[in-house]
């Protein structure tokens, strides 16, 4: 087995576009769940709204890329308000149910036949990323040791990691402000916070909006990288991946979502390549598994690791056990 090649390709995933997308989605969930205690199981809906914002404005209505960017982010704000207004005065599980339903509604509307002229149906929308790549300052591939990045990938990585850095900095500053301390207080005991005269409903809404906008940025980055907006990419498992990343890195920590995203995508690639290498070398017999099974087996192994982590270190790699002691109401 070529362990050098396996490590090289796995390290590319550690800083790759998938790690960026899920780091942004997990940072948003961290604001909502980790710091505020809001159970948003529809982060995929916010990501889809962000991607559709650009795709529909640019391709369907032939308008500006920058207007599409504004519409994508504004759409996430509107979606957060629509979800939060009827649910945030109720128990946490009401928000969870509504957000799961919303993510499926957005996906099904995107792939519906009657909305095909606007959203592209199940085939999705293409041809909206040219304006983004026209801004690309990189004219040649970049070589860093064993790694080589093409111009387009390099541009997406640069923009994506800048967004991750900005979102991380925003979370860092917010959670050390009086506003952030109120959020933590709501997570621990919202009745106590309410008794101090704070408008708990307004703070929850602000948290839902901020986390939703970060989810929309994840969808925008991914759709621009793919050059296509395909609704089935934003199925329910998108949100659960983001939660797994957050739990792995550590909820209610500033760098936990970023670390979790990097580790998860490195692990996926490493396990996949190691299994394929072991099968081709005959270390794993054909009757046990073949190359077609590696995709499923890597998810199983990752699940086992997450279960062990929850048993022996439920606070995640960087987290504090007290930070995930969610008192859901």
In Å, what is the CA distance from 94 to each residue of 88, 107, 163?
8, 20, 31
Tally the C-alpha atoms within 13 A of residue 102's C-alpha that lie toward its C-beta: 27
Residues 6+ apart with CB under 8 A from 281: 1
The CA angle 210-215-217, to the nearest 5 degrees, is 100
Please give the share of the chain, as a percent, with pLDDT higher than 90: 57
What integer pLDDT is reported at residue 14 of this predicted model?
Answer: 87
Confidence tier at 322 by pLDDT (50, 70, 90): low
pLDDT of residue 224: 95
81 confidence band (pLDDT: 50, 70, 90) = very high
Let me know if domain 3-325 sits in CATH 1.10.3470: yes
* Residue 323 pLDDT level (bands cut at 50, 70, 90): low
Percent of the chain with pLDDT over 70: 97
pLDDT digits (tens, 9 = 90+) for 83-101: 999 888 877 788 899 999 9
Domain boundaries, the chain: 3-325
């Amino acid at each position: 087995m070529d362990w050098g090649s396996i490590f090289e390709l796995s390290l590319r995933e550690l800083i790759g576009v998938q790690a960026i997308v899920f780091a942004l989605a997990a940072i948003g969930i961290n604001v909502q769940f980790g710091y505020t205690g809001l159970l948003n199981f529809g982060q995929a809906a916010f990501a889809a709204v962000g991607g559709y914002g650009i795709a529909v404005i640019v391709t369907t209505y032939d308008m500006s890329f920058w207007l599409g960017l504004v519409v994508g982010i504004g759409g996430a704000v509107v979606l957060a308000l629509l979800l939060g207004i009827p649910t945030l005065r109720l128990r946490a599980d009401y928000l969870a149910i509504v957000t799961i339903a919303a993510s499926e509604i957005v996906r099904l509307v995107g792939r519906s036949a009657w909305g095909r002229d606007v959203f592209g149906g199940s085939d999705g929308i293409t041809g909206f990323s040219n304006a983004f790549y026209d801004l690309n300052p990189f004219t040649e591939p970049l070589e860093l040791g064993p790694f080589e990045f093409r111009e387009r990938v390099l541009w997406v990585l640069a923009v994506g990691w800048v967004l991750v850095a900005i979102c991380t900095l925003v979370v860092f500053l917010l959670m050390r402000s009086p506003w952030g301390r109120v959020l933590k207080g709501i997570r621990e005991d919202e009745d106590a916070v309410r008794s101090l005269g704070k408008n708990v409903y307004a703070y929850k809404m602000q948290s839902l909006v901020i986390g939703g906008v970060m989810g929309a940025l994840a969808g925008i980055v991914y759709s621009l990288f793919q050059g296509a907006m395909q609704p089935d990419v934003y199925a329910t498992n998108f949100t659960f991946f983001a939660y797994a990343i957050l739990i792995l890195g550590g909820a209610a920590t500033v760098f936990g979502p970023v670390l979790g995203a990097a580790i998860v995508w490195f692990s996926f690639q490493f396990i996949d390549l190691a299994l394929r290498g072991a099968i081709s070398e005959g270390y794993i017999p054909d009757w046990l598994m073949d190359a077609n099974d590696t995709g499923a087996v890597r998810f199983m192994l990752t699940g086992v690791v997450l279960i062990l982590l929850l048993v022996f270190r439920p606070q995640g790699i960087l987290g504090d056990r007290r930070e995930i002691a969610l008192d859901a109401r």
